[in-house]
A and B are shown apart, each in its own frame.
Chain A
Amino acid sequence: MQNVYEQVSANKTRSDIVIILFIGFIILAAYAITVAFELDPSVLAIAAIFSIVSAVGSFYFGDKIILSLNGARLADRKEFFDYYTVVENLSLANQSPMPQIYVIDSPAPNAFATGRDPEHAVVCATTGLLQKLNRTELEGVIGHELSHVKNYDIRLMMIVSMLIGSLSILTNMVQRNRFFGSRRRDNDSSINGLLAILGVFLLIFAPLIGKLIQLAISRRREFLADASSVKLTRQPQGLIDALKKISSDPNALSSASTATASLYISNPFKDNKLASLFSTHPPILDRIKALESML
């Protein structure tokens, strides 16, 4: 098994690879299209600016964007005493700086951590999670999130979900154009040409998105975080009970999207078919089994 230093350097390298792949791919695709259809070179410039801004923005502001997309707010110590102090205590044991602490108002029990490094990390839990779990169970979940923080999983997962997000903005734009275009097909044939290009664009992006997801979601990541959580709390039963409660809860988290699903401790969509296609999380039962072997 990798130790934490190897995990950190693997995650940093993978983050760099993802960024380079993303920028390179978009510029290359834009270049191919400019040449093939003799478009204005400004297309290339726009593509370059778009990809670089997305990548840099993801790195520095990804955490803020993810938090605001999920409707998270800062948690204060008085209102969320157990949550706040558990994060404080486990950061002490984790020997990592205290992250910023956020809550999402939702009955679905779930949690995630994000940020570019442990110094700029954020831990976020839903109010449902905080109400349904007792302190020991909460320690298990927070321990899991803090191990994602310490081994830089948060950086990789943040960048990937942000870049998938910006790709999906692109593909949404394309889909909307196609919709409008099909109505005008009869009177405007140049639009059809453009749509063909964008269709090619989409085809190119599909495997890229797949590759990105694959890079981020090694299922081992979750098992590792579970194991590190137990190393922090020394209480496998807490995390086992928490996972059972989380997985048996009927509420789905409405603010989550395919892009951000991989961030959460458990699949936020529950039984959604699209989500299980991407399968961002190993089955909870397997995780519980792994934890029970530590008892």
Chain B
Amino acid sequence: MPILIIAVVVIVLYLVGFYNKVKTLQVHIRASIQEIGNQLKRQAELIPNLVESVKGYLKHEKGIFEDLVSARKSITEAVATNNPEKIDQSQQLISKVLGSLKVIVESNPEIKGAQVTTDLMNELRDTSDKVMYSRRTLIDVTADYNTAITTVPGIWFASIFGFKEEKGLITPLSGEHLEVSAEDVKTPKISLN
């Protein structure tokens, strides 16, 4: 009889520990998704400043303003839904704008040399790092979570509490970047006129 009581106590203690661990990880997952969104927002808010400082050089690049507006809009929406997939999509929009801005900065020594631009580029680089690190945190936490509920003994109890596998960031395991299209296989032709 005492053995039975001890066994029940041990199992209950384990279940409490397991439940709390998984719940904590769920909170971390949500927090890190939020963090990615926050950093993307910050990035989107920094870009207009950079645009302002290189305005004079943007005459031929009108498209950049429209891209910027749509990228910021999609980030605000994505952050509101807290959906990693949408956040990821809006990040791609932002990267596109950033990419073309960088080209402009790099190709114009006058802008590149200005202190304001240097500071802004540093801030943007830092924000990109922050996005990268918060994405990685999401990946790590999701992996911890999925490991906890899909390994023995967790897997025996996960369904009792209704714990399901989290997808986390989809990009690392699937998506276009892993697919090789016919275009990619072609040898690039370079012409030097």
Binding site for B on A (CB under 8 A): 81-82, 85, 88-90, 92-93, 95
Contacts and interface: CB of A to CB of B under 8 A. Distances in A.
A234 to B, nearest CB: 8
Given A93-B136, A93-B137, A95-B137, A88 B122 contact: no
B129 interface: yes
Contact of B130 (A81, A82, A88, A95): A88
A93 B122 contact: no
A89 B137 contact: no
A85 B137 contact: no
**Residue from A82, A88, A93 with most neighbouring chain B CB atoms (10 Å):** A93
B129 A89 contact: yes
Nearest to A90: B133
B75 to A, nearest CB: 19
Contacts of A85: 126, 129
A92 B126 contact: no
Interface residues of B, number: 10
A92 B122 contact: no
21 contacts: A81-B122, A81-B126, A82-B122, A85-B126, A85-B129, A88-B130, A89-B126, A89-B129, A89-B130, A89-B133, A90-B133, A92-B35, A92-B130, A92-B133, A92-B134, A92-B137, A93-B133, A93-B136, A93-B137, A95-B28, A95-B137
Interface string B122-147: 10001001100110110000000000
Nearest to A234: B136
A265 B130 CA distance: 25
Contacts of A95: 28, 137
Q: Which 4 residue pairs across A and B have the least CB separation, nearest first? A: A93-B133, A85-B126, A92-B133, A89-B133
Given A85-B126, A92-B137, A93-B136, 16 more contacts: A81-B122, A81-B126, A82-B122, A85-B129, A89-B126, A89-B129, A89-B130, A89-B133, A90-B133, A92-B35, A92-B130, A92-B133, A92-B134, A93-B133, A95-B28, A95-B137
Interface of B: 28, 35, 122, 126, 129-130, 133-134, 136-137
Nearest to B28: A95
**Residue from A81, A85, A88, A92 with most neighbouring chain B CB atoms (10 Å):** A92
A92 B122 CA distance: 18
A89 B136 CA distance: 11
Nearest to A78: B119
Nearest to B130: A89
Nearest to A88: B130
Contacts of A90: 133
A93 B130 CA distance: 9
A90 B136 CA distance: 11
B134 to A, nearest CB: 6
Contacts of B35: 92
Nearest to A139: B129
Contacts of B122: 81-82
Contacts of B137: 92-93, 95
B49 to A, nearest CB: 16
B175 to A, nearest CB: 20
Contacts of A81: 122, 126
Contacts of B136: 93
Contacts of A82: 122
Contacts of A92: 35, 130, 133-134, 137
Contacts of B126: 81, 85, 89
Nearest to B119: A81
B171 to A, nearest CB: 16
A82 B129 CA distance: 11
Contacts of A89: 126, 129-130, 133
A82 B119 CA distance: 11
A192 B35 CA distance: 68
A90 B133 CA distance: 7
A42 B129 CA distance: 60
B5 to A, nearest CB: 28
